[in-house]
Amino acid sequence: MNAIIREITEAEYPLLEDFIYTAIYVPPGDEMPPREVIFDPEIYIYVDGFGGKAGDCGVVAERDGTIIGMAWTRIIPAYGHLNDDTPELAISVLPEFRGQNIGTMLMERLFALLFERGYKRTSLSVQKNNPAVRFYQRLGYVITGEKLDHASHEDFIMVKDLNDANFS
């Protein structure tokens, strides 16, 4: 059974806290940090007051009335920030639904929304050792830089040009 991919509703904004937590990359063998880590300012900025800033754009994957994935962008001074014209992306799919093309469908719908709203590109930050790097590259993201995050992890800064895509 496939998921329905649609724009996020205001009533679903509170779910962003749960999804930012499941978006945290934890290398195999390591334990997830306590959920309270999402309230660190460096992380909470991705969800705090969502819907009230330029660049706030989001989509959800829904299956049987349950939200199983979210992808969203914000223009915020966070890890993957390039400038005030480029929204930074975050994505999370619940673990039991990964590997089912949900992430790709979320991203493609979000790219189309961003393009419709006049954005030329989107950025993100991802730990170098995160297997998601390959996922982002398949979707057209290009590594444009490297930096350390707040926990001293080595991250790639990646950018996707939305003008090269076909959103018909």
Q: What is the pLDDT of residue 47?
A: 97
Output b/e per residue, 83-101; b: 16+ Cβ within 10 A.
eeebbbbbbbbbeebeebe
Q: What is the pLDDT of residue 12?
A: 98
Q: What whole-number distance in Å separates Cα of residue 139 and Cα of residue 136?
A: 5
Q: What is the pLDDT of residue 165?
A: 63
Q: What whole-number distance in Å separates Cα of residue 16 and Cα of residue 46?
A: 9
Q: What whole-number distance in Å separates Cα of residue 47 and Cα of residue 38?
A: 9
Q: What is the pLDDT of residue 152?
A: 74
- Residue in the structure block whose two tokens are 């999804």: 19
Q: What is the pLDDT of residue 153?
A: 76
Q: What whole-number distance in Å separates Cα of residue 166 and Cα of residue 90?
A: 22
Q: What is the pLDDT of residue 1?
A: 54
Q: What is the pLDDT of residue 23?
A: 96
- Residue in the structure block whose two tokens are 């799919």: 93
Q: What is the pLDDT of residue 167?
A: 56
pLDDT in tens, the chain (168 residues): 589 999 999 999 999 999 999 999 998 899 999 999 999 999 999 999 999 998 899 999 999 999 999 999 999 999 899 999 999 999 999 999 999 999 999 999 999 999 999 999 999 999 999 999 999 999 999 999 998 776 777 999 999 999 866 654
DSSP 115: H
Q: What is the pTM of this model?
A: 0.94
Q: What whole-number distance in Å separates Cα of residue 127 and Cα of residue 149?
A: 9
Query: CA angle, 129 as apex, 83 and 19 as ends, to 5°?
Result: 65
Q: What whole-number distance in Å separates Cα of residue 121 and Cα of residue 57?
A: 13
Taking CA atoms, 153 is separated from 51, 56, 113, 118, in Å, by 29, 26, 31, 33
User: At 24, which amino acid appears?
Assistant: I
Q: What is the pLDDT of residue 168?
A: 47
Q: What whole-number distance in Å separates Cα of residue 167 and Cα of residue 23?
A: 26
